């Protein structure tokens, strides 16, 4: 009497729980063994896909056959597609089983291994389910590609979005708070270029974003956040950024600015340092050694009853300062740049004038973008004429058109973003001047991150501390202008004989008649 193992397989857990396939297969196999007086040694139930043999129950059964060689004569299944849907893998597994003295057999597709011609039927039986799988996979692929071209996101929603189904049963993605707001903040921070992307990821996780490092890097490269769906290249079809149907979290201009920073095409703002430090060392990374001009670092020394924080140089000059003294002196230094009360209108007027002078380059940037667009369009036109004259291969023209079209789309987005940037500088400066009026309070009561942002914004370049006072080569332009105005007015008010004024102290008398100098 022959001994057989019954192998019963379905592709998913749902089919195993709700379908009739398992019970039907078992019934057919048991009846087959009963009619042929075959003893059943064990029954294996599998709920993994038959595309590969990387299945837990099958792997365990194969190990059992190796361990108990000769205990079983056959492995029975209903059809070959229950055994495998991959022809090459199936041939290799059949060879392995026969080496163990076990013959695989499909009861509804019987094959006699002693007859050579039956190998043809075996090849057909195994090829048919594989072809069926491939055809189904191809239909799914083309359907998903068409959906992407129509602007639909396929698959699990990216970070900041959630999958939804409308009343018609169509699936879509919609923003999910607070993750959506955090992702918007992430792109804004990256576009500034102040902090490293990994530091921004850690800060975002503290805000409530649940995202691993690899998932974060994939997300910040994904154009879905600016309302685009990436359709990759396939055969003769070129890659495409389709207009999505979902709600974007950020503008295209912001997305491209962030990509420029990530790719190193955009210079990072010199408004501070990337490092995050202890709350007792807010000046770490901003101080320069007065002896050797190297950057001072900060650390803590453990005493008998407490920890003592210091700023120190890493070179042999051994320059070091107590952090408590340096921090107190810096707060006193910061009070020098608090604007004079009651002069906000004058400050705003002066800053508006300076802003207009310094932003005149935007028109130059706009003209440069227009020139680049014109150059790319001319290049495409010339390439088209060369292809028409058979001086350029159509494949080369298609590649050139794809590259130029991507550059043109990005430049048009930047051009549109510049047109939309109509800043109400008067309102912004009024708010900023009011904030500067309580700068020392904001610094004293702020978190370590807020303190470091204040330091970096007021002092774009490093500070030199000699133990008694601070020096810097450059101040923030707005703060410098306000400081000069404050200093000038103070000197006028407190002027003594023999002092050289920075501003003229001459006051022209007014009256009904035209004023004239005396």
CA gap 43, 170 in Å, rounded: 42
Cis before 178 (ω within 30): yes
- Provide the pLDDT for residue 89: 86
C-alpha triplet 129, 134, 137: angle, nearest 5°: 125
At 498, the pLDDT band (50, 70, 90 cuts) reads: very low
Conformation bin of residue 501: beta by default, left when phi > 0, alpha when psi is -120 to 50: beta
| Per-residue H/E/C for 331-369 | HHHHHHHCCCCCCHHHHHHHHHHHHHHHCCHHHHHHHHH
- Provide the pLDDT for residue 91: 87
CA gap 286, 277 in Å, rounded: 12
Q: Which two tokens stand for residue 471?
A: 């020096």
- Provide the pLDDT for residue 272: 45
Identify the three-state secondary structure at position 446: coil
In DSSP notation, 419-434 reads HH----HHHHHHHHHH
Out of 25-34, 323-332, 334-343, 456-465, least confident range = 334-343
Instruction: List Cβ<8 Å contacts ≥24 apart for 213-221.
Output: 215/159, 216/159, 219/158, 219/159, 219/160, 219/183, 220/186, 220/187, 220/190, 220/258, 220/262, 221/259, 221/262
Out of 26-40, 101-115, 216-230, 259-273, least confident range = 259-273
- Provide the pLDDT for residue 134: 85
**Which parts of 264-319 are beta strand (E)?**
287-288, 297-302, 307-312
Out of 372-381, 426-435, 456-465, least confident range = 426-435
- Provide the pLDDT for residue 508: 40
CB atoms within 10 A of CB 301: 10
CA gap 405, 267 in Å, rounded: 25
Identify the CATH number of the domain defined by range 3-134. 3.40.50.1390
- Residue with more model confidence, 135 or 270: 135
- Residue with more model confidence, 415 or 497: 415
Q: Sign of torsion, CA 43 47 48 49?
A: positive
Mean pLDDT of 334-343: 71
Give residue-wise pLDDT tens across range 58-98: 999 999 999 888 888 889 998 888 888 888 888 889 899 98
| Contact present, 456 and 194 (Cβ < 8 Å) | yes
* Model confidence at 423: pLDDT above 60: no
For the chain, give every domain's residue range. Answer: 3-134, 161-263, 287-340+437-493, 344-428
Average pLDDT, the chain: 79
Residue 279 vs residues 99, 282, 284, 286: alpha-carbon distances, Å: 70, 6, 10, 14
CA gap 455, 476 in Å, rounded: 10
**Which neighbouring-strand residues pair with 343?**
none
- Provide the pLDDT for residue 506: 41
At 187, the pLDDT band (50, 70, 90 cuts) reads: very high
Mean pLDDT of 173-184: 91
* Model confidence at 241: pLDDT above 90: no
Mean pLDDT of 16-41: 80
Out of 93-97, 286-290, 512-516, least confident range = 512-516
Identify the CATH number of the domain defined by range 161-263. 3.90.1750.20
DSSP tag of 226: G
- Cα radius of gyration rounded to whole Å, the chain: 37
**Which neighbouring-strand residues pair with 509?**
none
């Amino acid at each position: 009497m022959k001994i057989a193992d019954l192998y019963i397989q379905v592709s998913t857990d749902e089919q195993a729980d709700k379908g009739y396939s398992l019970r039907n297969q078992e019934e057919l196999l048991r009846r087959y063994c009963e009619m042929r007086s075959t003893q059943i040694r064990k029954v294996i139930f599998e709920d993994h896909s038959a595309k590969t043999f990387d299945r837990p129950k099958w792997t365990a059964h194969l190990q059992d056959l190796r361990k108990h060689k000769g205990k079983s004569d056959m492995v029975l299944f209903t059809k070959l597609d229950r055994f495998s849907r991959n022809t090459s893998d199936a041939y290799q597994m059949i060879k392995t089983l026969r080496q163990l003295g076990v013959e695989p057999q499909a009861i509804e597709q019987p094959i006699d291994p002693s007859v050579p011609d039956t190998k043809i039927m075996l090849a057909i039986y195994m090829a048919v389910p594989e072809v069926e799988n491939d055809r189904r996979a191809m239909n799914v692929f083309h359907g998903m590609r068409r959906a992407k071209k129509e602007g639909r996101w396929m698959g699990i929603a990216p970070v900041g979005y959630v999958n939804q189904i409308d009343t018609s049963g169509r699936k879509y993605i919609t923003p999910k708070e607070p993750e959506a707001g955090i992702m918007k903040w992430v792109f804004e921070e990256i576009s500034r270029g102040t902090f490293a992307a990994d530091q921004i990821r850690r800060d975002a996780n503290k805000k409530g974003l649940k995202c691993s490092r690899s998932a974060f890097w994939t997300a910040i490269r994904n154009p879905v956040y600016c309302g685009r769906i990436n359709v990759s290249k396939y055969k003769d079809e070129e890659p495409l950024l389709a207009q999505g149907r979902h709600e974007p979290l950020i503008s295209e201009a912001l997305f491209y600015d962030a990509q420029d920073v990530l790719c190193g095409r955009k210079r990072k703002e010199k408004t501070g340092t990337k490092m995050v430090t202890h709350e007792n060392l807010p000046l770490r990374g901003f101080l320069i050694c007065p002896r050797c001009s190297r950057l001072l670092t900060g650390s803590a020394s453990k005493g008998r009853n407490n920890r003592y924080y210091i700023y120190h140089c890493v070179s042999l000059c051994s320059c070091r300062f107590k952090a408590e003294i340096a921090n107190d002196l810096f707060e006193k230094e910061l009070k020098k740049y608090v604007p004079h009360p009651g002069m906000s209108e004058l400050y705003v007027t002066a800053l508006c004038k300076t802003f207009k002078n310094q932003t005149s380059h935007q028109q130059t940037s706009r003209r440069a973008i227009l020139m680049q667009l014109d150059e790319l369009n001319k290049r495409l036109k010339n390439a088209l004429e060369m292809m028409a004259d058979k001086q350029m291969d159509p494949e080369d023209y298609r590649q050139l058109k794809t590259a130029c079209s991507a550059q043109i789309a990005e430049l048009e987005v930047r051009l549109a973003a510049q047109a939309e940037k109509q800043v109400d500088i008067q309102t912004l400066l009024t708010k900023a001047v009011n904030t500067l009026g309580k700068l020392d309070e904001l610094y004293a009561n702020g978190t370590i991150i807020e303190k470091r942002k204040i330091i970096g914004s007021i002092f774009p370049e490093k500070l030199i501390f000699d133990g008694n006072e601070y020096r810097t080569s450059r101040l923030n332009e707005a703060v410098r202008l306000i400081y000069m105005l404050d200093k000038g007015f103070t000197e006028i008010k407190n002027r003594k004989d023999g002092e050289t004024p920075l501003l003229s102290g001459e006051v022209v008398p007014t009256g009904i008649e035209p004023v004239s100098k005396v």
